[in-house]
Amino acid sequence: KAGVTQTPRYLIKTRGQQVTLSCSPISGHRSVSWYQQTPGQGLQFLFEYFSETQRNKGNFPGRFSGRQFSNSRSEMNVSTLELGDSALYLCASSSATSYNEQFFGPGTRLTVL
Amino acid sequence: KQEVTQIPAALSVPEGENLVLNCSFTDSAIYNLQWFRQDPGKGLTSLLLIQSSQREQTSGRLNASLDKSSGRSTLYIAASQPGDSATYLCAVTQVSNYQLIWGAGTKLIIKP
């Protein structure tokens, strides 16, 4: 069974631009969660999608948004990028709920210049 | 507000030693606690998941315990190997909002 995949793996953007990251969950998994990881703040929960609906949301500004498609693939969008958005963005999938075991992708390393 | 703390922040031990990593949390209203491993620049690998009703879980050389009432979990690694070198993170799933709250991790180095 293929694992969680994320594209692209690396991304360099400049301040003010926007970016879209993609996550394909493990086949059969319907829950996708997104996390931001930085050296200063550690891992922080962004949001969770289940069956195309946002089911849970962390404390991030509205510049961070996401969506999920009918095939459970998910995208995360960040608009008006700031230097502080530089981070490793991780997505995780689970079979039904966010408190089932989560399986993580390799992450997308975003650098904002 | 749930806070998860991992001690120590870093640990370096010779190969072959048994070791214990610690994780504590402030709010016992959790669904489960998970231990993950992260290699530099990589994603996270789930090691063990302990449901709130369980006391421990084992996988190979790893054993994780959970004492929900005292807000503590330990990850025991037996007969450590250089390949065990990584950052180990624990996370709890809150009952209030199903969110995972993470510790800052313990960076483990196993010296050959």
Write out pLDDT tens, residues A32-60. 999 999 988 889 999 999 999 998 899 99
Longest Cα–Cα distance of chain B, Å, equals 44
* Residues A104 and B46: beta-carbon distance below 8 Å: yes
Average of per-residue pLDDT across A89-99: 81
pLDDT of residue A25: 96
User: What DSSP designation does A102 have?
Assistant: P
Q: Are A54 and A48 in contact (CB under 8 A)?
A: yes
**A102·B99 Cβ contact <8 A:** no
Q: Provide CB contacts within 8 A for B55, sequence distance 6+.
A: B65, B66, B67
How does pLDDT run across B20-68, given as a tens digit for each residue? 999 999 999 999 999 999 998 788 999 999 999 999 999 999 999 999 9
As a whole number of angstroms, the distance between CA B27 and CA B8 comes to 20
Which of B31, B38, B26, B64 lies closest to A42 in space, CA to CA?
B38
Across all residues in chain A, what is the average pLDDT? 93
The helix/strand/coil state of B83 is: helix
CB A30 within 8 A of CB A72: yes
Cβ-contact A101, B49 below 8 angstroms: yes
- Contact check, Cβ <8 Å, B98/A44: no
Q: Which residue has the higher pLDDT, B102 or A102?
A: B102
Mean of the pLDDT values across residues B1-25? 96
Is the pLDDT at A98 greater than 60? The verdict is no
pLDDT above 70: percentage of residues in chain B: 100
Q: Residue A1: what pLDDT?
A: 66
Q: How confident is the model at residue A81 (pLDDT cuts 50, 70, 90)?
A: very high
A10 confidence band (pLDDT: 50, 70, 90) = very high
**Which pLDDT band holds residue A100 (cuts at 50, 70, 90)?**
confident
**Considering only CB atoms, which residues of chain B are within 8 Å of chain A?**
31-32, 34, 36, 41-46, 49, 89, 91, 93, 97-105
For chain B, give the mean pLDDT: 94
Task: Answer yes or no: do A58 and B44 touch at CB < 8 A.
Answer: no
